[in-house]
Structure 1
Amino acid sequence: MDHHTGVWPVMLTPFTEDREIDWASLERLIDWYIASGVHGLFANCQSSEMFFLSDAESEKLTRFVVDYVDGRVPVVASGHTGNAPSHQAEQLAAQAACGVDSVIMISNRLASQDESDEIFLERLAALTEKVPASVGIGVYECPYPYKRLLSDAAVSFAAKSGRFTFLKDTCCNIETLTRRAKLVEGSQLHIANANAQTLLASLKVGCHGYSGVMANFHPALYVWLTENWQSEPEKAEILGNYLSVAAMTESMDYPLCAKDFQKAIGNFTSMECRTRPLGGYFQNHFSSTVSQMIALGETLASQLELDIPAAAFDPAGKIAAQ
């Protein structure tokens, strides 16, 4: 597949019980993603709890991921959390120095909710000039602290600039995705849809892949879909329907539900988050629901005779043993 297409998981950051980064668990997570066949990794994003990392931690995290991946797949990273433009430029330069393929701007960092698209475009152009020319640039329509979707003018600017490679799209709207696919056609800007419900339809209209939270549960199913939807359309429709429903898991106290799953399969030693307390997660029986969702996906893959890596669902056999 072409560069910047396919499945790009939004990486989790495992923490110890003391909420320090758990580097050994992170190694296992990276190996599991790659064993599942992913095409790239999005490090230091919202799922990585980047707004709760210091700048020093942020840089160390991205450098660790790049070094451990060691060229097996490309890595993009953000860490773009600052408010002042000068601070933002420093953060992106630091991420670029880690050896990433592209640095990812966060759209809501460039303008407040009540500021115009003209202001947004001015700041986007200015920050683009400050990103080292040695790396590509991406944009992520991160929903925290508020979601700022790109205008058609912003998408066109990015496509025509020659600098942008990656758009993590969170519009969740097939009409918008269709329009954006036309705007980026023929450029090096690739659209990675974060929304499972519109994913298959977006691939059909010219979008390029998936970069969403559910790649922390069953990335191999998304890999199969992005690689085979044209050659096996009937199976793709069935799988797409399952993935749409399964993606409702995100509402079950994410990223706790993803960390619980990663602990269940032996990758993480702790569910600790900096973004939210463990609190009511188990009281709501979310853990059993997640394991049932995974089991159903494994059964479906078997019934459809999908070519899925053996390590994709439960590499250590821990869920089955429970």
Structure 2
Amino acid sequence: MTTKKFVPVMLTPFQDGKAIDYKILEDLIEFYLEAGAGGLFANCLSSEMYQLSKEEMLTSVSFIVQKVAGRVPIVATGTFPDSLENQAAFVKEMYGTGIDCVIVITSLLADETDAEAVFEANVNQLLALTGDVPLGFYECPVPYKRILRPDFLGKLVRTGRIKYHKDTSLTMDSVRAKIAASKDADDFALYDAYMVHAVDSMKAGSAGLSCIQGNYFPELIVWLCNHYDDDSAEVDKVQQFFAQNMGVMHDTYPASAKYILEKRGLGITQICRNGSELRNTTDYDKLDTLFDQFKELAQEINLNVIAYENKM
């Protein structure tokens, strides 16, 4: 069975004044790694990147690189709403933090109304402007979602510059087509964000998972990466758990994930800069039920719930 990896989309913890809480960020890094993460995706949508200044992006990513100290690869977003020339300049700055690959947001390389030809021309221009910096793509849903065409991804991968792709197409047909288009590349990995078809995606050849659910229960995502090919009722239960709880995990995210981690004893608060918050007792009740379901499932599959299990 091919080894699969979980790459968390990292949260950003904030203090009461909404400054980045670097003490808790260090704890969060260790939490991901102890859970078995095979890499880290820093400065992403889950990190509330659009609410961070460029200085905060660079400082926080540099901090993560320093604390990880080479234990796992790190990718981080290096584009933001601006001209291609300025995006390219920031890509180089972000790469200078010591990360392994700079992630490009597909929806920032063309307007939503632009034709595919415009988008692809802009991608090629960005590659030309960024020298030999290793790049990856993230089909981020904000400001809108632009899905890469499989044949275009294949062409990009064959340049040797593209090392990473986070897929949010939400369809197995698209995932399979992208995997097929990039199958001959030795140094490229496609990670799926959509937990509804996580098992099918890994069986089809994806490198693993990079999903928001890992900010609630990272060790359960790692377990699935390790057992996805088992023909067992346990794998079915874990896949079903994620599919059935898509709504509650997305509804008030990332405040919801921070609440669960707070319950787990991590020390993080629910403070977000992007306006996410738990609105009423119903939101809390749904998340408390989710947490109880996780604990029951963990017992059923003999999951080693690490780091904060004494506080569960």
Say whether the fold is shared (TM-score over 0.5).
yes
Structure 1 residue corresponding to 2:158, chosen from 157, 160, 164: 160
1:294 and 2:266 are equivalent in the alignment: no
The secondary structure found in structure 2 opposite 1:47 is helix
Report the CA distance between 1:82 and its aligned residue: 2.7
Cα RMSD of the aligned pairs, angstroms, is: 1.9
Whether the aligned pair in 2 keeps the contact of 1:11 and 1:47 (CA below 8 Å) is: yes
Whether the aligned pair in 2 keeps the contact of 1:138 and 1:164 (CA below 8 Å) is: yes
Whether the aligned pair in 2 keeps the contact of 1:35 and 1:309 (CA below 8 Å) is: no
Task: Give me the whole-angstrom Cα distance separating, in 2, the residues matched to 1:183 and 1:23.
Answer: 40
Task: Give me the whole-angstrom Cα distance separating, in 1, the residues matched to 2:131 and 2:69.
Answer: 21
Task: Give me the whole-angstrom Cα distance separating, in 1, the residues matched to 2:177 and 2:236.
Answer: 22
Residue 116 of structure 1 is matched in structure 2 by 115
The farther-off stretch of 296-305 and 106-115 is 296-305
Report the CA distance between 1:165 and its aligned residue: 1.3
Task: Give me the whole-angstrom Cα distance separating, in 2, the residues matched to 1:129 and 1:309.
Answer: 46
Task: Give me the whole-angstrom Cα distance separating, in 2, the residues matched to 1:286 and 1:32.
Answer: 25
In structure 1, the gaps of 5 or more residues are none
Deviations for 1:105-130, whole angstroms, at most 9, x for unmatched residues?
00001111111111111111121223
Deviations for 1:18-65, whole angstroms, at most 9, x for unmatched residues?
111010010111111111011111000011011111111111011011
Change (3 A) 1:170 1:284: farther
In structure 2, the gaps of 5 or more residues are none
Residue 310 of structure 1 is matched in structure 2 by 306
Deviations for 1:208-248, whole angstroms, at most 9, x for unmatched residues?
21111111001111111112222454422221111212332
1:96 and 2:92 are equivalent in the alignment: no
Deviations for 1:96-147, whole angstroms, at most 9, x for unmatched residues?
00010110000001111111111111111121223352x4211000000111
Task: Give me the whole-angstrom Cα distance separating, in 2, the residues matched to 1:101 and 1:2.
Answer: 22
Task: Give me the whole-angstrom Cα distance separating, in 2, the residues matched to 1:283 and 1:123.
Answer: 44
Whether the aligned pair in 2 keeps the contact of 1:215 and 1:222 (CA below 8 Å) is: yes
Residue 81 of structure 1 is matched in structure 2 by 80
Percent pairwise identity:
29
Task: Give me the whole-angstrom Cα distance separating, in 2, the residues matched to 1:219 and 1:154.
Answer: 32
1:143 and 2:141 are equivalent in the alignment: yes
Whether the aligned pair in 2 keeps the contact of 1:107 and 1:142 (CA below 8 Å) is: yes
Q: Kindly tell me the number of residue pairs found equivalent between the two proteins.
A: 311
Whether the aligned pair in 1 keeps the contact of 2:150 and 2:174 (CA below 8 Å) is: no
Residue 260 of structure 1 is matched in structure 2 by 259
The secondary structure found in structure 1 opposite 2:46 is coil
Report the CA distance between 1:295 and its aligned residue: 2.5
User: Which 4+ runs in 1 deviate beyond 4 A?
Assistant: none
Matches within 5 A, 1:174-213: 174-187=172-185, 188-213=187-212
Task: Give me the whole-angstrom Cα distance separating, in 1, the residues matched to 2:231 and 2:31.
Answer: 26
Residue 130 of structure 1 is matched in structure 2 by 129
